[in-house]
């Protein structure tokens, strides 16, 4: 049976390190990192993500502020809030929870965030720096995936990695980061032909689709590493994109859902907030 990479357990360790780092920074600079989150509307999933982020910040000793606005807020008002946070020396990380209501141009809002405070790593300049291999704030989910792979010292160099999904927040950056680790990367998406064949060739599969059972055991090579990013609700139960029960006997490592990539995403956000603080506050 393959080894389960518990994002929950790993997060506990990494978040404890973040807490200790925050204490050390407080001692040195007399202040702690401050993350400001802007939440627009009443979307239950967004509210739950933001609550999770708030709780994790508090536990790690990071100051967090949530600015809640109704979904009737205008684009201009939201841009004003972002600008105020950009200019506030006591705020080190700015995050606007996505998705935004349809009348607001998400790109405009992302572009408005000061890149030194861009804890999500979604600003086009941060994305460009990441692609160029220059120092950048990395998007939280792919960063969490790398932390999981590194935590088990999984050999990446020269491995065939298949990323299923090409979103800007998961698939594309995960592909880029694995390429930087010297994997040979293939990206699959909804128009990909022969997904099974491509999966069977992969040493590492990252599934970021949002559809339960996209990857089944017959699609996985013996000893492959399977990272399941998907979050799906099936009969009231939270499941990933991969058939965990059947695949775990074939894979060398596999991440569960829940308790896998999800907690690592928030953990990476804490690390990013710390990184932004250090960049801003360090003389």
Rounded to a whole number of angstroms, the minimum distance from the CB of residue 25 to ligand NAP is 26
Nearer to ligand NAP, 115 or 205 (CB): 205
Stretch that binds ligand NAP, among 9-17, 50-58, 175-183, 230-238 (CB under 6 A): 230-238
**Residue 8 annotated among the catalytic residues of the structure:** no
Q: Does 107 bind ligand NAP (CB under 6 A)?
A: no
Say what the alpha-carbon torsion angle 76, 77, 82, 84 is, to the nearest 10 degrees: 120
The residue among 219, 186, 214 whose CA lies nearest residue 200 is 219
Count of H helices and E strands in the chain? Answer: 10, 11
Site for ligand NAP in 243-262 (CB under 6 A): 261-262
Q: What angle do CA 194, 182, 166 make, to 5 degrees?
A: 45
Q: Does 210 bind ligand NAP (CB under 6 A)?
A: yes
Task: Tell me if 166 is assigned to a ligand binding site.
Answer: yes
- Beta carbons within 8 Å of 12's beta carbon, 6+ residues apart: none
Task: Tell me if 167 is assigned to a ligand binding site.
Answer: yes
Stretch that binds ligand NAP, among 81-89, 100-108, 155-163, 188-196 (CB under 6 A): 188-196
For residue 247, is the peptide bond before it cis, meaning its omega torsion is within 30 degrees of 0? Answer: no
Q: Which of 21, 118, 120, 241 is catalytic?
A: 120
Looking at 167, 184, 213, 252, which residue binds ligand NAP (CB under 6 A)? Answer: 167
**Residue 271 annotated among the catalytic residues of the structure:** no
The pair of structure tokens assigned to 6 is: 């518990």
- Which residues are tagged catalytic? 53, 97, 120
């Amino acid at each position: 049976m393959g080894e389960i990479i518990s994002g929950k357990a790993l997060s506990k360790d990494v978040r404890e390190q973040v807490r200790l780092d925050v204490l050390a920074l407080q001692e040195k600079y007399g202040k702690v990192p401050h993350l400001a989150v802007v939440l627009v509307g009443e979307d239950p999933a967004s509210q739950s993500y933001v609550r999770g982020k708030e709780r994790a910040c508090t536990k790690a000793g990071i100051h967090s502020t949530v600015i809640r606005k109704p979904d009737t807020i205008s684009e201009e008002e939201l841009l004003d809030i972002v600008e105020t946070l950009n200019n506030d020396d006591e705020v080190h990380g700015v995050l606007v929870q996505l998705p935004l209501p349809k009348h607001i141009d998400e790109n405009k809002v992302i572009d408005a965030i000061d890149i030194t405070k861009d804890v999500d790593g979604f600003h086009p300049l941060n994305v460009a720096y990441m692609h160029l291999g220059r120092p950048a704030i990395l998007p939280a989910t792919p960063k969490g995936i790398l932390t999981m792979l590194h935590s088990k010292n999984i050999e990446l160099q020269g491995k065939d990695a298949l990323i299923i999904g090409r979103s800007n927040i998961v698939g594309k950056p995960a592909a880029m980061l694995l390429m930087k680790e010297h994997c040979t990367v293939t990206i699959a998406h909804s128009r990909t032909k022969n997904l099974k064949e491509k999966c069977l060739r992969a040493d590492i599969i990252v599934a970021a689709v949002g559809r339960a059972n996209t990857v089944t055991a017959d699609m996985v090579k013996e000893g492959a590493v399977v990272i399941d990013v998907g979050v799906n609700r099936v009969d009231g139960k939270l499941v990933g994109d991969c058939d965990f029960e059947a695949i775990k006997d074939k894979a060398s490592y596999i991440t569960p859902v829940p308790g896998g990539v999800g907690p690592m995403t928030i953990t990476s956000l804490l690390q990013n907030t710390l990184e932004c603080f250090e960049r801003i506050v360090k003389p």
